[in-house]
Amino acid sequence: MARLELRNLVKQYGAVYAVNDVSLEVGDNELLCLLGPSGCGKTTTLRMIGGFIVPDSGDILIDGASIARLPPERRPTAMVFQRYALWPHMNVFDNVGFGLQLRRQSKADVARAVKQALDLVGLPGFDKRRPSQLSGGQQQRVALARALVLEPRILLLDEPLSNLDAQLRIRMREELTAIQRRVGITSVFVTHDQEEALSIADRIGVMRDGVLQQVASPTELYARPATLFVATFIGIMNVLDGRLAGDGRVTAGPFTLPAPAGARLASGQQLVVGIRPEDFQLTGPGGEGVQARVTQITDLGHYRRVTVEIPDTKPLTVFTSKLQDLPFGAATIQPQRALFYADEQLAGVMEPAGTAAAPVPSTSVGAAGA
């Protein structure tokens, strides 16, 4: 039970900002994912929380108390490392019990706590094994047990699943979240895998070039990406160049869309319009919309991935329901929902007719140029 707060964290290497003014709060028992391409500063941020990197400026608070000046051994945080970092010269019991022995707990207490932790991660009776005798998944569990046994207030996970093969990764990630929920521990999870982040996180913080772009729930992040980077990084997004015309309409490639109410846009402004593949209406030829050609249909089981071509426009990716009967050739296409970006920032959302337009999200975090 703990709240983690980062205030204006900055870390510079030479002239390069590894982490640039990151502020963020993680609530009680929340699992927050830091997501971003490699080199975006997510691991640096995590290592600053753990105490392995000293921030140039800014503060780190746990339940309101600053820990930024404490060395790692005195922080109430525990880290699960990317390569597990189990000590090869100790068996599983000593790996897990090391921290407890340092706290001068009685032998019986240590033994009980280690047993409990190993039971929790599903490795009962593995005490005497050496790390080299364990599979990657088992090493991962031991690393998790080693972190949890210390009852830290904040659990830090540095791409803990990236060294596992695909199938095991999915199983371990389910198990990991189950354990996290059962133990009830505030956690920060770093990953570059958006599917992983979307499937386990309560909230996701997307980073790029040291800047935190947006912190939001997976649903919100997908539906209302605050910046163009987030929009293209998460999921598939059709991106069109657009412009706000004088009549209050937006031209986006071949489409003409109504400008959303309350959008902070100036007439004649250059825009980038993002449309999710499932936000198109695709009908037979001669309908209301832009005339196009269906050039490719991939059946993906529960839905179809359709490539639609319009002259002078990049091919669009469209998802359609399996129920819809769709032939190749001429068709009509019209966006139902669109996101408008001005200067890379979300400036407005066109919601489908009949849906109340929500205001521009307030969850977007002070990214550069906001």
Partner 1 sequence: MAKSWFLGVPELRRALGVILVLALGLFLLLPLLTMVVWAFADVWRYPHLLPSSYSLRWWSWVFHNGNMTKAIFWSLTTAPVVTLLSAVICLPAAYSFSRLNFPGRRFFFISLLAANAFPKFGLYISIATLFFRLNLINTFWGVVFIQMINTLVVMTWIPAAGFDSVPRELEEAGRDSGAGPFRVFWRITLPIAMPALIVGGILAFLAAFDEAQGTFIVGAPRITTMPVLMYTLVTNYPEPASAVFSILLAVPSLVLLLIARRFLLAGYLAAGFKGR
Amino acid at 354: G
Contact call for residue 157 and partner 1 (CB under 8 A): no
Window of 16-24, 35-43, 47-55, 312-320 that interacts with partner 1 by CB under 8 A: 47-55
Would you count residue 78 as binding partner 1 (CB under 8 A)? yes
Sheet holding 4-13, edge to edge: 16-26, 4-13, 57-62, 65-66
Under the binding rule (CB under 8 A), the answer on residue 51 touching partner 1 is: yes
Q: Which of 14, 64, 88, 311 binds partner 1 (CB under 8 A)?
A: 88
For position 104 contacting partner 1 by CB under 8 A, the verdict is no
- Residue 370 interacts with partner 1 (CB under 8 A): yes or no: no
Query: Which of 87, 171, 261, 328 forms a contact with partner 1 (CB under 8 A)?
Result: 87
Candidate ranges 83-91, 170-178, 253-261, 268-276; the one touching partner 1 (CB under 8 A): 83-91
Instruction: Verify binding: residue 303, partner 1, rule CB under 8 A.
Output: no
Q: Which one, 133 or 267, has the nearer CB to partner 1?
A: 133
**Are residues 81 and 89 in contact, defined by beta-carbon separation less than 8 angstroms?**
no
Nearer to partner 1, 101 or 324 (CB): 101
- Tell me whether residue 140 or residue 213 sits nearer to partner 1 (CB atom): 140
99 lies in the binding site for partner 1 (CB under 8 A): yes
Q: Which residues of 285-303 are buried (b: 16+ CB within 10 A; e: fewer)?
A: eeeebbebbbeeeeeeeeb
Task: Give the shortest CB-50-to-partner 1 separation in angstroms.
Answer: 6
Q: Is 327 in the site for partner 1 (CB under 8 A)?
A: no
**Does residue number 98 form part of the binding site for partner 1 (CB under 8 A)?**
yes
When asked if residue 299 is in the footprint of partner 1 (CB under 8 A), the reply is no
By CB under 8 A, name the one of 20, 44, 139, 180 that touches partner 1.
Answer: 139
Q: Which amino acid is at 7?
A: R
| Residue whose CB is less far from partner 1, 20 or 44 | 44
Least distance between partner 1 and beta carbon 139 (Å): 6
Q: C-beta of 100: minimal distance to partner 1 in Å? A: 9
232 sits near partner 1 (criterion: CB under 8 A): no
Q: What's the min distance (Å) between Cβ of 109 and partner 1?
A: 15
Single residue of 132, 167, 219, 362 touching partner 1 by CB under 8 A: 132
Q: How many residues bind partner 1 (CB under 8 A)?
A: 31
Q: Which is nearer to partner 1, 143 or 216 (CB)?
A: 143
Determine the residue type at 314: K
Q: By CB under 8 A, which span of 50-58, 114-122, 234-242, 359-367 interacts with partner 1?
A: 50-58
Quickly count: other Cβ atoms within 10 Å of residue 78's Cβ. 23
In the 3-class helix/strand/coil scheme, how is the chain assigned residue by residue? CCCEEEEEEEEEECCEEEEEEEEEEECCCCEEEEECCCCCCHHHHHHHHHCCCCCCEEEEEECCEECCCCCHHHCCEEEECCCCCCCCCCCHHHHHHHHHHHCCCCHHHHHHHHHHHHHHCCCCCCCCCCHHHCCHHHHHHHHHHHHHCCCCCEEEEECCCCCCCHHHHHHHHHHHHHHHHHHCCEEEEEECCHHHHHHHCCEEEEEECCEEEEEECHHHHHHCCCEHHHHHHCCCCEEEEEEECCCCEEEECCEEEECCCCCCCCCCCEEEEEECHHHEEEECCCCCCEEEEEEEEEECCCEEEEEEECCCCCCEEEEEECCCCCCCEEEEEEECCEEEEECCEEEEEECCCCCCCCCCCCCECCCCCC
- 335 sits near partner 1 (criterion: CB under 8 A): no
Is residue 137 close enough to count as binding partner 1 by CB under 8 A?
no
Binding site for partner 1 (CB under 8 A): 50-52, 71-74, 77-79, 81-89, 98-99, 102-103, 131-132, 136, 139, 146-147, 150, 163
